[in-house]
Structure 1
Amino acid sequence: MVSVHFQNCIMFHQMAGLSIQSPLTTISVLVFHLVLIPFSGGQSQLIGSSQPIVATIGDDIILPCHLKPAEDVAAKTLEWTRSDLDPRFVYVWRAHQELLDLKNPSYLGRTSFFTDELKHGNISLKLSRVKPADQGRYKCFIPEKEEESFIELVVGK
């Protein structure tokens, strides 16, 4: 990614009529981009599971989701939703606590976070006593960072 970005930068300089003639200038441009890239927006990523999570009715399961690089998210708003539900919220965390009044009633008493893991960017959702109606596509979301990850839950018998 960096080399493609660097090549694009060189092409931009050449198209603008600028030339990169000395190795020092080339190194300066490279260092400039290597230093700026990590600080530009959108570098964090929510990681879930690329494979469906398979559960049996009655199981307790974990829907994995963590922020990479790890960052303390305990003070952030964190959401787990299913777009096919009304209300769509499976779990909402804001200001160090769960918001029960937004939660879909079918998930009351069955979802939780590992709150001590939030400081490491782990926002995996524990879902207890899985039901057939729990099957679906879940979204793990940090609104402030505009980061999301999707996890598919398949429920068997």
Structure 2
Amino acid sequence: MVQPQNKSEPQISAAPGDDVILPCRLDSEKDLRGFTVEWSKLEMEHDPFSFVYYAMGREIITEVMNPSFIQRVSLNPDGLKRGDVTLKIRKVTLQDEGTYRCFIPGLNHRETVHLVVDPNGVTAPTMETSPDPGGEQTNIWISRSRPALWISLGVFLSSIFSAVWIFQKRRQKKPLKKLDSVPGV
């Protein structure tokens, strides 16, 4: 597992297949739609396609982006209007683990964040209100669990409902005492 280069940089944990949000925001709500925005993975800097995301003004330049990210990354267009260039990476893989840098050259603004992808990670889903780079501000799952967790939950709930149903049926079938067998009747 790769460790963050700087202990103060944020760390995001995910399991393979999760969607992750890598935060990068200005202190102000400056409109960034006309600026160049670069997201790169530091471990790939020697690669000419080290950019995870690259946009000049309102145009995304895929020719300089790493092909494995092109269809999986996005920024929130509404966020750009408010100084937010948070990156969403869909369906992370083990190869996505590493340190990412957000850079806005025109403002000399940069931030780094470290992504850890745990191959055995089944993290409990955590709900947080956050701007989603694919749309408006919504409730999003920061860490999505693997299907096995959801299947286990379904089996557990089915077992509970089955046990309650069986208990109810047995209770209904209990024979009533016959009146002629009760003394004094």
TM-score by length of 1: 0.67
Whole-Å Cα distance in 1 between the matches of residues 113 and 26 of structure 2?
14
Say if 2:32 is the partner of 1:67: no
Structure 1 gaps of 5+ residues are 1-48
Partner of 1:128: 90
Say if 2:68 is the partner of 1:109: no
Write the letter of the residue equivalent to 1:150: T
Partner of 2:16: 57
Whole-Å Cα distance in 1 between the matches of residues 9 and 42 of structure 2?
19
Where 2:102 maps in the other structure, the secondary structure is: strand
Decide which structure has the larger Cα Rg and report it. Answer: 2
Aligned pairs, number:
109
Matches within 5 A, 1:1-157: 50-85=9-44, 86=47, 87-157=49-119
Report how far residue 147 of structure 1 moved. Answer: 1.2
Over aligned residues, Cα RMSD in angstroms?
1.2
Whole-Å Cα distance in 1 between the matches of residues 58 and 67 of structure 2?
21
Write the letter of the residue equivalent to 1:76: F
Report how far residue 145 of structure 1 moved. Answer: 1.1
Report how far residue 50 of structure 1 moved. Answer: 3.7
Whole-Å Cα distance in 1 between the matches of residues 59 and 78 of structure 2?
12
Write the letter of the residue equivalent to 1:59: D
Structure 2 gaps of 5+ residues are 1-7, 120-185
Whole-Å Cα distance in 2 between the matches of residues 149 and 101 of structure 1?
23
Report how far residue 98 of structure 1 moved. Answer: 1.0
Q: Percent identity?
A: 38
Where 2:81 maps in the other structure, the secondary structure is: helix
8 Å contact from structure 2 (residues 54, 62) kept in 1? yes
Whole-Å Cα distance in 2 between the matches of residues 83 and 143 of structure 1?
16
